[in-house]
Structure 1
């Protein structure tokens, strides 16, 4: 059975048994007046307990129009930056807005040349050093947010500019701060002379793909953000409709799948041209829906023929980019979504908000995100600091460049790296998942992402019911799937990968380095996971390149 809903430039196709389930939910949503209530920003849609926060978090519905002033507000400063030769935009931030900025630039970059955009939401000293060495003389830094990543990076870049010989006035002009008016980041920015751009007060980063924190760096990098907003505006006109509404149909399908016990959502891109969009959708779905022991876990795979895509049972699959009439691999997937980027941002935000109502969760609350942040801060405040606390613990197994840190009982007598990895896969409970969390350099250690398909393929050979395998870069995932890991169903097994730091980066004005901060983030999150009864293990690479190669060889 197949249902196709097309409107506003978006097409959503739903197939299989989920059609009947979602149609029932769809009819209830329409009869309850949810489409008109949501577009009217009714904060009570998710229950009385969620209403106070929701009332301050529904501004994303108006962003296709309210964000149109941004290009004009940036025109003067942008021209000055270009005249000064600043054609490399570095985003120092974290969360959904940073991932959205990266997706917007990578997608738009295919349409023509523009400035370079680098999203730096990492505390890995190797990755940061690589960015610092990549053209500091032409770099403009956009600081988005007041988290530890953004503020640490602001300090690091400030010192680097100063050491490069920039005077106080020129150094100040190398930063743009995007923050809410009246916030501490605004006060600090105005105090030192940084250019300041107001962020919306009623939008959070998870739902802020069309807000200032995402669009400012994209616009400075030469992206036509008005065209992106036009795509969203054309689609916004259908959101009030109770029928022929693709976003409502997708939300009903997501919500009904979760209610039916199918709590995994495999996402594969199939020629959509929306580069990096699956990662943005991952953070939205996981963070908005993963709480109170419920949720949908996004499992982003490399393509429709990748290991893990064909998993069945309690999983549903979404393909990005497939047209309803297009043949080929994955046609039998639970849902297919096609349409332009601006409209897709709005489609998924609306659909996830609807799914949250169906599931009975508050889409805007992040009740578990702060636990890892607090654990990180506690480690950094300790007398010895994060690094000495970690490295003094002896590994349970050493295999050349790889140390395995896990309880003896979890290794099940493993004597080799391959046996240890298989033991972790076998430890995943039925209907559970394995999350690989790599605190490494996204550029220099990019090969580590290949562990996901290899582990998925090995799981298929070991288990009658293969375990879904996800992959996340740390600390990026803390703002993405981290909420689901701690607040969603308690069926995850976690495998961290850390690496030796050969050239650390001090954080000016702080008693720690980036390497110590990164390790504190890894161990802070691991402590929280273990306190919740989640199995959490660690692989430490004594040599990063050799260690990644060794892991790939052990699984290959």
Structure 2
């Protein structure tokens, strides 16, 4: 097999492995046995196991995509922009970064980042990717690109041929694609959930058009697939380790890349893909495995009594309780999907549903309909407005010059034992990239698990865990003043309004659970981030 899993410092009780062997889980999973996760999960599982067949069924895409890429190149269209969220964007980003080919991933509602993607239109083709076909972020981005192409002088037919669509059969987006005359439409297998779709059209279409060798990716996955029905296969062992660690109290899975050596780039961005897969699959019914994406193997948060470290792309485990998972990207995708399904059985949850994802979406819709709430800051310190809920600001002196850092300290103190802090940044992933530095800074101070997510992207990932997982989270939300807004054509809201509504909707979902939440609004993004990082460092 081309996937290797090595476990160090973690005791796996015999009953965990013995029960899976006795129940013939490896073979039953490959046979798509929907009863593996219990009677309550059976109906959902029965329509969510198509990912097991993708190494074979996705083959027909390879030549079609090669022809389409050649056709686009013949017209000078060599810049690919992907409009998609969660499962529609995370895998293509990893594939293209690993292959070293350029792909512009647009998985945001920040108007500055959206506007920055709408450049070089004379050589741009847009892939619009949405399983449901009704994703508000993706539809808003599609509308903005249609308007931009028209403004650049393209007629209606020419505009349509700048779009490639990936969606499920019969979705609203498939109808929109036909109406606008999209150049190509790829209908994905509806029996594959979004976070399990890396080897489907959702992962392969944008990646192939950007220049990645998706045929090789399928070869890697197919080699692994041949042994997945065997007891003791590497992906099964990975799932057993994840589940056993959870049972032993290590319910935080710290994900770090090996970093690559020499000409090997490693698997850049793989942690972000695995984060969605694991958090959204296991974080429900008050339990779950919390993935924590680290900057390096020895970054803050890589060790702790509730942490299992997983080093991806290495065959040498780190010190302490850890995993080393080595193998090529295609095998990693399929192996982690398989392992997560196995871990779901050990945890006693349905790894294929996401019961709490719609809550923030519904809150966002209400805010867009009723208007943004008037939330006055408790204090303004420099370039930071401070708000809080869940009692996090009770007794905090916000009048001093270091009021913002005192508020953050109060939030850190509110993290319960064995809890975690989630940093959620509704900012520009490119222009405000320094916000990511907060994760390591806060993890070092909190000595607790700290995650970082760009909003609204994380709503399609760890957002499920935040609401459905164990209620031991504390939350830091960052928003910022928009320098220049961008309209969403033919909609009663702008991108800035949508972004603010999404942040507000998520705050409400967390406030309804009475979780400690600190909201820092940056009246000047660059100055506010510098102020915050300086105070905390």
TM range (shorter): over 0.9
Cα deviation for residue 77 of structure 1 reads 2.6
Deviation at 1:305, TM superposition (A): 2.0
1:10 aligns with 2:3: yes
Summarize the alignment of residues 170-249 of structure 1 with structure 2, pairs less than 5 Å apart: 170-194=158-182, 195-243=184-232, 245-249=233-237
Q: Work out whether 1:504 is the aligned partner of 2:485.
A: yes
Look up the match of 2:38: 47
- Contact 1:396/1:407 (8 A) holds in 2: no
**Secondary structure of 1:410 counterpart:** coil
Following TM superposition, by how much is the alpha carbon of 1:322 offset from its aligned partner in structure 2, in angstroms? Answer: 2.1
Mapped pair 1:427 → 2:383: no
**Residue 63 (str. 1) matches residue 45 (str. 2):** no
SS for the counterpart of 1:182 is coil
2:396 match: 413
Pairs within 5 Å for 1:200-349:
200-243=189-232, 245-272=233-260, 273-310=266-303, 312-324=304-316, 330-349=318-337
Could you list the runs of 5+ residues in structure 1 that have no partner in the other structure?
A: 1-7, 460-465
Structure 1 partner of 2:533 = 552
The CA distance in 2 between the partners of 1:83 and 1:408, in whole Å, is 57
Say which SS state the counterpart of residue 69 (structure 1) adopts.
Answer: helix
What is the aligned partner in structure 2 of residue 128 from structure 1?
A: 114
Equivalent residue, structure 1, for 2:384 = 402
1:159/1:148 Cα in 2 relative to 1: closer, same or farther (>3 Å)?
same
Task: Provide, for residues 338-395 of structure 1, a one-character-per-residue CA deviation record: whole Å limited to 9, x for no partner.
Answer: 111000001100000000011110001110001111110111111xx22xx2xx4221
CA displacement at 1:335 relative to structure 2: 1.1
- Match status 1:436 vs 2:419: no
Tell me the distance in 2 between the aligned counterparts of 1:162 and 1:141. Answer: 14
Q: 1:183 to 1:407 in 2, by over 3 A?
A: closer
CA distance in 2, matches of 1:187, 1:407: 43
Give CA-to-partner distance per residue, 1:253-296, whole Å, 9 cap, x none.
Answer: 11122223322111111225001001101111100000000100
Counterpart position of 1:463? none
Which deviations, in whole Å up to 9, do the C-alpha atoms of 1:371-425 show, x marking residues without a partner?
A: 111110111111xx22xx2xx4221121111111115952332332221211111
Rounded to whole Å, the distance in 2 between the matches of 1:55 and 1:407 is 41
Give, in angstroms, the shift of residue 214 of structure 1: 1.2
CA distance in 2, matches of 1:497, 1:413: 19
When residues 224 and 321 of structure 1 are mapped into structure 2, their CA distance, relative to the original with a 3 A threshold, is same
Provide TM-score, normalisation by structure 1: 0.92
Shift of residue 11, structure 1, vs aligned partner? 1.1
Q: How do 1:19-98 and structure 2 match up within 5 A?
A: 19-21=11-13, 23-98=14-89
| Deviates most, 297-306 or 151-160 | 297-306
Q: Distance in 2 between matches of 1:333 and 1:181?
A: 44
Aligned in 2, Cα 1:285/1:351: closer, same or farther, shift over 3 Å? same
Q: In the alignment, is residue 519 of structure 1 matched against residue 500 of structure 2?
A: yes
The corresponding residue for 1:462 is none
The equivalent of 1:3 in structure 2 is none
Q: Residues 12-57 of structure 1: CA distance to partner in whole angstroms, max 9, x if unpaired? A: 11111x3332x43122111111001000001111111111111111
Offset at residue 165 of structure 1 (A): 0.5
Q: Which of 68, 72, 91 is the equivalent residue of 1:100?
A: 91
The answer as to whether partners of 2:228 and 2:235 remain within 8 angstroms in 1 is yes
Distance 1:155 1:436 in 2: 30
Unmatched tracts of structure 2, length 5 or more: 261-265
Structure 1 match to 2:440:
453
Contact 1:26 1:248 in 2 (8 A): no
TM-score for the superposition, normalised by structure 2: 0.95
Paired residues for 1:343-492 under 5 Å: 343-382=331-370, 385-386=371-372, 389=373, 392-407=374-389, 409-411=391-393, 412-414=395-397, 415=400, 416=402, 417-459=404-446, 466-492=447-473
Task: From the superposition, tell whether residues 407 and 72 of structure 1 become closer, same or farther in structure 2 (CA, over 3 Å).
Answer: closer
Distance 2:284 2:91 in 1: 23
Output the aligned Cα RMSD: 1.3
Answer whether contact 1:396 1:408 (CA < 8 A) is retained.
Answer: no
Report SS of the residue matched to 1:292.
coil
- Give the SS at the match of 1:406: strand
In structure 2, the residue matched to 1:4 is none
Alignment partners' CA distance in 2, 1:43 and 1:480:
24
CA contact (8 A) 1:125 1:501 kept: yes
> Contact (CA 8 Å) 1:268, 1:319: kept in 2 or not?
yes
Shift of 1:533: 2.0
Question: Hey, what's the Cα distance between the residues in 2 that align with 1:409 and 1:242?
Answer: 50
* Counterpart Cα distance in 2 of 1:79 and 1:123: 31
The residue correspondences of 1:128-147 to structure 2 (distance < 5 A) are 128-133=114-119, 135-145=120-130, 146=133, 147=135
